[in-house]
Amino acid sequence: METRIEKDSLGEVKVPGNAYWGAQTQRAVENFPISGLMAHPKMIDAFVMVKKAAAVAHKQLGLLGAEPADAIVQASNEVLRGEMRDQFVVDVYQAGAGTSFNMNVNEVLANRANEILGGEKGAYKPVNPNDHVNMGQSTNDSFPTAMRISTRVLMSEMMPVLDALEMALKEKAKEFDHVLKSGRTHLQDAVPIRLGQEFAGYAATIYKCKRLLSQAATELEELGIGGSATGTGLNVHPKYRYIVCDLYREWTGLPFRPAEDMREAMQSNLPMGAFGGALRNLALELTRIANDLRLLCSGPLTGFAEITLPAVQPGSSIMPGKVNPSIAENLNQICFQVLGLCTTIDYCVQAGQLELNVMMPVMAWNAQFGLTILTNGVRVFTELCVRGITADEERCKHYAETSPSLATALNPTIGYQAAAEVVKQALKEKKTIPAVVLEKGLLSEEDLKKILDPWKMTEPGIPGL
- 70-99: pLDDT as tens digits: 999 999 999 999 999 999 999 999 999 999
Segments in 176-267 forming alpha helices (H): 195-220, 240-252, 262-267
Can you tell me the distance from the alpha carbon of 96 to that of 105, in angstroms, rounded to the nearest whole number?
A: 16
CB 454 within 8 A of CB 194: no
pLDDT in the model for residue 193: 95
If 0-12 CB within 10 Å is exposed, 13-18 middle and 19+ buried, where does residue 454 land? Answer: buried
- 42-61: pLDDT as tens digits: 999 999 999 999 999 999 99
With residue 258 as reference, give the H or E element that holds it.
strand 257-258
Mean pLDDT of the chain: 96
- 336-374: pLDDT as tens digits: 999 999 999 999 999 999 999 999 999 999 999 999 999
pLDDT in the model for residue 136: 97
Q: Report DSSP state, residue 212.
A: H
CB 422 within 8 A of CB 416: no
Region of residue 157 (phi > 0: left; psi between -120 and 50: alpha; otherwise: beta):
alpha
Indicate the range of 81-90, 391-400, 427-436 predicted with least confidence. 427-436
Q: Is there a cis peptide before residue 463, judged by omega within 30 degrees of 0?
A: no
* pLDDT tier at 465, thresholds 50, 70, 90: confident
pTM for the structure as a whole: 0.94
pLDDT in the model for residue 454: 78
| HEC sequence for 336-393 | HHHHHHHHHHHHHHCCCECCECCCHHHHHHHHHHHHHHHHHHHHHHHHHCHHHCEECH
Can you tell me the distance from the alpha carbon of 102 to that of 229, in angstroms, rounded to the nearest whole number?
A: 13
Can you tell me the distance from the alpha carbon of 380 to that of 374, in angstroms, rounded to the nearest whole number?
A: 10
If 0-12 CB within 10 Å is exposed, 13-18 middle and 19+ buried, where does residue 417 land? Answer: exposed
pLDDT in the model for residue 46: 98
Q: Report DSSP state, residue 122.
A: T
Q: Clarify whether 316 is annotated catalytic.
A: yes
Using DSSP bridges, classify how beta strands 307-308 and 390-391 pair: parallel, antiparallel or unpaired. Answer: antiparallel
* Cα distances (angstroms) measured from residue 440 to each of 403, 407, 425, 444: 19, 14, 10, 10
- 202-260: pLDDT as tens digits: 999 999 999 999 999 999 999 999 999 999 999 999 999 999 999 999 999 999 999 99
* pLDDT tier at 401, thresholds 50, 70, 90: confident
Can you tell me the distance from the alpha carbon of 342 to that of 116, in angstroms, rounded to the nearest whole number?
A: 42
CB 205 within 8 A of CB 198: no
In the predicted model, is pLDDT for residue 65 greater than 80? Answer: yes
CB 173 within 8 A of CB 251: no
Collapsed DSSP state (helix, strand, coil) of residue 88: coil
CB 149 within 8 A of CB 173: no
Catalytic: which of 35, 156, 214, 316?
316
Strand partners, 189: 184
